[in-house]
Amino acid sequence: MKIAFMFPGQGAQTVGMGKDLYDKYEEVREVYKEASKISGKDIAEITFNSTMEELSKTENTQLAIATMSLGILKVLEKNGVKPEITVGLSLGEYPALISGGYLSFEDGITLLNTRGYLMGNKVEPGNYSMAAIIGLDSKIIEDVCKEIAEKGMFISPANYNYSGQTVISGDEEAINLAIDALKEKGAKRALKLATGGPFHTIKLNKAKDLYTENLKEVKFNKENPKAKVIKNLDGTFYNENDDMVDILSRHIVSSVRFDKAIKTMQENGIDTYVEIGPGKTLTGFVRKENKEANLVNINSVESLESFLENFRKGE
């Protein structure tokens, strides 16, 4: 069994997520306690008892999703489950780096606390929208975005989720134009998303510049990692020659290449893809590319115990 751990990003959150895990496992409660102490926020209270509006604030969402994922990770590690590869989507890259041994738990939570605040509060003002384009080659999407941008509007690909889905971000007017144009060019679907922030675009350059200073204070372990970690930036593995400060700062303003990450996992013989945290987004992306993959979602006591039982049996 060659396992990849996959950690979700924003959009997967729900009020109450992980409460059953928190109630059952001391290890999970300890992760929430430590993350709350480091961040200065009561993450359990925000996750279990706040409103969806409060939880969905970027500065809360990133911490809440990562803490749930890291709580599950702690139980998996205690039971001897080790991945060959780890990967995350956007904020999920931080639990992936912690799991892979590149980043300490304390530094990871500290960085996400800052990153969430900056991405939520240091955005160039504008009326932004996002849309998922399904069933169209990404090169066609890039060309349409370029044509619209040449008219003086802001628009850019933000997430390449798998070969058949790309998310674009931009001015409301630009996104509306793009949706019409891409439907004409053969897109199966073009859907406006509830998320409106221009994440992973140049509109977060100020956040990127401020965040760089925080990254410079962190010690990364590039020499002795526990697992291979895939970069969102280009879908390749981190290595000991990488400039982690440069990569993780550019991560905020660069497109997420999860499509390339899936290809890298396939090329490295991964047969079991384990999504750790809320939702089923990443296993959904993998399923589109690999119908034969063994896909596992761990987001509850039931799903965690089922996986551990199968793992012990070698299934």
| pLDDT grade for 197, boundaries at 50, 70 and 90 | confident
Q: Is the pLDDT of residue 142 over 70?
A: yes
Please answer whether residues 49 and 73 qualify as being in contact, where contact means their C-beta atoms are separated by less than 8 angstroms.
Answer: no
Please answer whether residues 22 and 94 qualify as being in contact, where contact means their C-beta atoms are separated by less than 8 angstroms.
Answer: no
Q: Which of 288, 5, 66, 4 is CA-nearest to residue 161?
A: 288
Q: What is the C-alpha separation between 26 and 209, in angstroms, rounded?
A: 38
User: 265 CB contacts (<8 Å, ≥6 apart)?
Assistant: 4, 85, 87, 230, 273, 286
Mean pLDDT score, 192-219: 92
Residues listed for the chain: 315
Q: What is the C-alpha separation between 121 and 276, in angstroms, rounded?
A: 28
**pTM exceeds 0.85 for this model:** yes
Beta bridge mates, 295? 273
Mean pLDDT score, 91-105: 97
- Residues 28-42: pLDDT tens digits? 999 999 999 999 999
Q: Is the pLDDT of residue 314 over 90?
A: no
Q: What is the C-alpha separation between 142 and 55, in angstroms, rounded?
A: 32
Q: List where CATH 3.30.70.250 sits in the chain.
A: 128-197
Q: Is the pLDDT of residue 138 over 90?
A: yes
Fold (topology level) of 128-197:
Alpha-Beta Plaits (3.30.70)
Q: List where CATH 3.40.366.10 sits in the chain.
A: 3-122+203-313
Mean pLDDT score, 141-168: 97
- Residues 297-309: pLDDT tens digits? 999 999 999 999 9
Instruction: Please tell me the CATH superfamily of domain 3-122+203-313, with its number.
Output: Malonyl-Coenzyme A Acyl Carrier Protein, domain 2 (3.40.366.10)
Q: Which of 279, 274, 149 is CA-nearest to residue 201?
A: 149
Characterize 221-233 residue by residue with b for buried, 16 or more Cβ atoms within 10 angstroms of its Cβ, and e for exposed: beeebebbbbbbb
User: 291 CB contacts (<8 Å, ≥6 apart)?
Assistant: none
- Which active-site residues does the annotation give? 90, 200
Q: What is the β-pairing status of strands 189-192 and 128-134? A: antiparallel
Q: Is the pLDDT of residue 114 over 70?
A: yes
